[in-house]
Amino acid sequence: MKKSASTLVLLLFLSTFMFSLPQIGMVKAEPKPIVVPDEYTTIQEAIDVAVEGDTIYVKKGVYHENVGIDKPISLIGEDRDSTMIDGNPTEGYRVPITIKCDKVSVSGFTLSYGYAGIQMGGVNYCSISGNRITNAQHGIKLTNCSWTNITGNAFESIGPSCAVQLNYAVGNLIHRNYFDSCVEGIQIRDYSNINVISENTIVNSDDQGIRLLYSDFNEVIDNTLVNSGIGISIYVSNNNTLHHNNFINNTKQFSTNEWYAQQWGYGVSNNTIYRNYWTDYNGTDINGDGIGDTPYIIDENNQDNYPLIEPADIPVIPEFPSWIIMPLLMIVTLFVIVFKKKVCRPIHD
């Protein structure tokens, strides 16, 4: 037995040593820029020949493609408004961009007419920035993705689903995006925990500007929600923090309609809501400290005890990758995921 164990240890050591040596006859390709259509006619052809770390620059034009990215590269459009990937389903293209691996960056494109502008599943550490996504069923759809940044994008006329949807997604950053005339702006659902939703502007949503559904420990800060059916809604979601948001002339500013879930034994969601601006707040500020003297009443279980008299001044903050600013919170989410009781989850919109 001792001889077998020592032999196994030796083999493991030798295997590790051999794999750590440079491979004779193998030369690793250096990252390089690739230009479409100068070097390759289609974006997909360029991706197929690219190696890890390459940057693909796409010149202005309309590209009728269903692009799949399966290696860690950067895909950059020359000009957001005139570099377009058209996913028109009548021509057989359903998703302009599908991301299939970690550490992918996409910026500078208009993505239109697909099931989703960008979809990604089971990948991490990606960056989606500076794109325009319009006339798609979904905008950006993440499933089981973590530590991804969605920043500085514009979403227009997305529906019947939502512009950004997180499913089972942990530790992501949705920051400084603009949403106009979408059925729903941002939807955080199905145990999507410890995400940050900050400095987004959401106007004219048919339904919710932001919706939290079965998701905990998220921070919703410095967002502006204007002229939507509902500014923010919460359904069976706890320990979320919502502060310094501007609720401006939404039909219903904040919704916690959970009566259907309560029929299944769920309690009232418990979240922290404070220092938001509400256009329908009628309180006073006698001492002039910028905080209302009386709470803003949302419903019998929820209120903002420190409502702002003036709209929140949205600060300019550094854009750090979400995997740098939030790693410690991962511990909390792992605890929630491991120990959360698996139960039937009623949904009533």
Nearest CA-CA partner of 50 in 70, 27, 79: 70
Give pLDDT, residue 92: 67
Give pLDDT, residue 99: 98
Looking at per-residue confidence, does 31 or 100 come out higher? 100
Give the mean pLDDT of the chain: 85
Nearest CA-CA partner of 191 in 231, 145, 148: 145
Nearest CA-CA partner of 324 in 172, 143, 108: 172
Q: How far is CA 163 from CA 218, 230, 289, in A?
A: 18, 15, 37
- Give mean pLDDT, residues 188-213: 97
Give pLDDT, residue 22: 41
Give pLDDT, residue 28: 53
297-340 confidence digits (pLDDT tens): 999 999 999 999 999 987 544 444 444 444 444 443 444 334 44
CATH superfamily of the 29-339 domain: Single-stranded right-handed beta-helix, Pectin lyase-like (2.160.20.10)
- With pLDDT > 90 as the criterion, what percentage of the chain qualifies? 72
Q: How far is CA 218 from CA 221, 293, 319, 332, in A?
A: 10, 28, 18, 11
17-49 confidence digits (pLDDT tens): 333 334 434 455 567 799 999 999 999 999 999
Give pLDDT, residue 114: 83
How many other β-carbons are positioned within 10 Å of the β-carbon of residue 252? 15
Domain ranges of the chain: 29-339
Give pLDDT, residue 30: 65
DSSP calls for 254-319: EE---HHHHTTT------EEES-EETT-----TT-SSB-SSPEEEETTEEESS-BSS---------
Give pLDDT, residue 59: 98
